[in-house]
Amino acid sequence: MADIVEDGRSKYRYQLYKLIPDILLVKLDVKKSTNIPISSQSYLVRIALHKTLSNKKAEKETTKIMALRQPAWNETLRFLVKKEVWKEKETLLLEVSLVRREFIGTTELVKTECLSMASLMDTEFVKFEGDIQVDVGVSCEMDSDVKFRDINQLCTEEVDFVTKRKRLVFENMKKLGFKRLLHENNAPNIAIMGSGGGIRAVIGMCGAVTALQAESLLDSTMFTAGLSGSAWYLMSLYAYDDHLKPKLVNDSIKKKLQKFHLIEFLKTWYSWKHYTKSKAFDYGKFFTLTNTFGEMIGELLLERKCKMKWSEQRQKLDDGTVPLPLVAALHIRDNSRIKDYNEWIELSPYEVYIPKYGAAVDMKKFGDMFYGGFVTKEYGEPPIHYLQGVCGSAYAVINNFKPKESKWYMSWSAFKDKIYSFFNYFDDQFVAKVPNMLHGIPNFEPLFENLDEDDDAIDGEREEMMLADAGIAFNSPYPLVLHPSREIDVILSFDFSDRGKDSNYPFEELEKAEKWAKKNRVPFPELNLDEIKAEWTKGNYEEVYIFSSDNAPTIVHFVMINKTFPGFVKDDDKEKSQTDFEIHHNYGTMKFGYTDDEFDRFKSLVEYNVTNNKEKIVDSIQSAINRRSNVQLL
């Protein structure tokens, strides 16, 4: 487990801000008035509460209502206070003001009454001079919907899952003949992880997971993780059936991709009927074209099953018979470049989790409106196809079309402002928007001194969050599997990133992940790529590379390369020609439709690369078992 050093800080910078203390939501229901003189003047009620969560006086007011008859506001003013403060209601003071506004806009304070919360709860009204009375009810919610926990902890459901899954992994590893497996704690935690890459990544993961299942290694895995195209695949795999059936999923996806044509895609995209169909679905307050894009991806890969919910997949996890799936998204800002501000977010069937703040909310509440950690309006969890749109690569591709800054470009400031205002508007329409689960929570306090500018805290004033493809930051979901409390020993990494040509250097995304890990002080093996890069430049390629260091997970990294696969078929010239192909030339990121031959060819290549390197995977797992055994002997 991750060690907490002091004041909630860890030696890791996985979590950057202090946990929010136990809070409750105080709701002051401003109802009707009595004995306000009938007139054309308007009245509002203003309430100031001392000792709020921010340790400052907070002030809120109702809308103004004309006193043509007795005003009845029927509005709720919400305040956040610490639970320890709420216990002392006699000393928790309020200032309740009745404000009159003239027709011409002048404001006059009628009266301010100061009273304690205990007094207001007893009477449920406030008396002003002239027998004017305003009814104010008090209620509170004690258990927040957003939970805060440090990096020593996982959610209760995940802890229960790991306990059950560990037992099954241990038994499976014994059947596979691994040595030194004396008890369950010797069994290493393995994660299968896929990169982005659009439908190419979907097909690649079809091959990878099928091969791992055939070699009985899928049953030895604790987690699966993906972003962008790999996330599309994982959500399709888990939603397809009550049990994980990779071969059936492969056949289903192949049939759908074979029928797909770009013209049909564009016709659907610009179809008003499709747009209104998506908009009619109750996603909640926010709607962007990501909703439409996600629905198209979902219907392409899952058809009717894309209407399922991600939280419903937790039923498959109850007995621990399948790995826990994790998919990634990225929180971005509309007024900041992505390189200047981004936050990783993980979505499991159990919860939505933002490691930077140690904040989590039940997956079933993803889509609800929040204030101060409490749900204020329920919209319901969106379907899987919406998550596929959030995690998908459409915005990432569009983002690459933004103009780059140069001296010439910067000199045309007016032109620059117009262009960027256009793209900001485009972002606003295209990037996924969801309710901000941290809305209403005041300033977060840093755990560490001198945080970088790109580590700024989220804006608690905003009701919404903008979510995009996490591959924009780097194209493999390492932050999900490097959570210190998940204690991952071996990462089976499958990289389907676009690098232009098969012969081009394939480790740029891995280097970005290493840079992220070093910045956040998260254990990561030393890559030492100079020698590998030199060999790659000479054309000496490998299908898989092993990176390991003491006190860090071992990464078994499969690159997207077609090296020995053509030699796998020796006699049949026709079949041999099917195996000798350039990947990037035939499998572009923006390509959505594939023939049966194209699908089978790439899936079989990845399948072959896994099977052909099974011994390296097994050796890495055995080394992890040995490390665990040696630690326990100390």
According to the model, what pLDDT value does residue 45 have?
95
Residue 242 — pLDDT band, cuts 50, 70, 90?
A: confident
Instruction: Write out 405-439 in H/E/C secondary structure.
Output: CCHHHHHCHHHHHHHHHHHHHHHHHHCEEEECCCC
Residue 425 confidence (pLDDT): 44
In the predicted structure, residue 408 carries a pLDDT above the cut 50? no
Residue 265's pLDDT band, with cuts at 50, 70 and 90, is low
3-class secondary structure per residue, 12-52: CCCCCECCCCCEEEEEEEEEEEECCCCCCCEEEEEEEECCC
Asked if residue 440 lies in contact with residue 464, where contact means CB atoms within 8 angstroms, the answer is no
> Mean of the pLDDT values across residues 215-237?
97
Q: What is the 3-state secondary structure (H, E, C) of 318-335?
A: CCCCCCEEEEEEEEECCC
Predicted confidence at residue 518, as pLDDT, reads 95
Position 405 pLDDT exceeds 60: no
b/e sequence 254-267, b meaning 16+ C-beta within 10 Å: bebbeeeeeeeeee
Q: What per-residue confidence (pLDDT) applies to 412?
A: 39
The most confident of the ranges 2-6, 114-118, 419-423 is 114-118
For residue 394, is pLDDT > 70? no
Highest mean pLDDT of the ranges 140-144, 336-340, 390-394: 140-144
Q: What is the pLDDT of residue 414?
A: 45
| pLDDT band of 282, cuts 50, 70, 90 | very low
**pLDDT classification of 280: cutoffs 50, 70, 90:** very low
Q: Does the pLDDT at position 494 exceed 60? A: yes
For residue 416, the model assigns a pLDDT of 39
Tell me if residue 449 falls in helix, strand or coil: coil
Segment 465-479, tens digit of pLDDT: 999 999 999 999 999
Angle at 244 between CA 628 and CA 380, to 5 degrees: 100
pTM score of the predicted model? 0.88
pLDDT computed for residue 579 by the predictor: 83
d(CA 82, CA 569): 69
450-465 per-position pLDDT tens digit: 888 889 999 999 999 9
All domains in the chain, ordered by first residue? 23-145 (2.60.40.150), 149-633 (3.40.1090.10)
DSSP 508: H
Distance separating alpha carbons of residues 40 and 45, to the nearest angstrom: 17
Which residue, 102, 88, 1, is CA-closest to 44?
A: 102
In this prediction, residues 83-87 reach a mean pLDDT of: 91
Q: Between 523 and 414, where is the model more confident?
A: 523
pLDDT digits (tens, 9 = 90+) for 541-599: 999 999 999 999 999 999 999 988 987 765 555 566 678 788 988 999 888 889 999 99
Band of pLDDT at residue 409, cut at 50, 70 and 90 = very low
* pLDDT above 80 (res 51): yes
Residue 103 has pLDDT above 80, yes or no: no
Rounded Cα distance, 528 and 203, in Å: 30
SS in 3 state form for 290-312? HHHHHHHHHHHHCHHHHHCCHHH
Report strand pairing: 4-6 vs 125-127: unpaired
In percent, the amount of the chain with pLDDT more than 70 equals 86
Least confident of 76-85, 97-106, 227-236, 594-603: 97-106
pLDDT at 401 over 60: no
- Model confidence at 403, in pLDDT bands (50, 70, 90)? very low
> Residue 127: in which H helix or E strand, if any?
strand 125-127
Predicted local confidence at residue 46, as pLDDT: 95
pLDDT at 427 (0 to 100): 54
**In the predicted structure, residue 50 carries a pLDDT above the cut 50:** yes
For residue 20, the number of C-alpha atoms closer than 13 Å in the C-beta half-sphere is 30
pLDDT at residue 122 is higher than 70: yes
Token digits for 86? 């709420």
- Find the mean pLDDT for residues 418-422: 44
Answer yes or no: is pLDDT of 396 > 60. Answer: no
- Mapped onto helix, strand or coil, the DSSP state of residue 463 is coil
CA-to-CA separations, 293 to 267, 390, 430, in angstroms, rounded: 13, 9, 9
* Contact yes or no for 311/381 (Cβ under 8 A): yes
Tell which residue, 301, 215, 208, has the closest CA to residue 251. 301
What DSSP state is assigned to residue 2?
A: P
The whole-number average pLDDT for the span 58-70 is: 92
Q: How confident is the model at residue 200 (pLDDT cuts 50, 70, 90)?
A: very high
Single-letter code of the amino acid located at 212: L
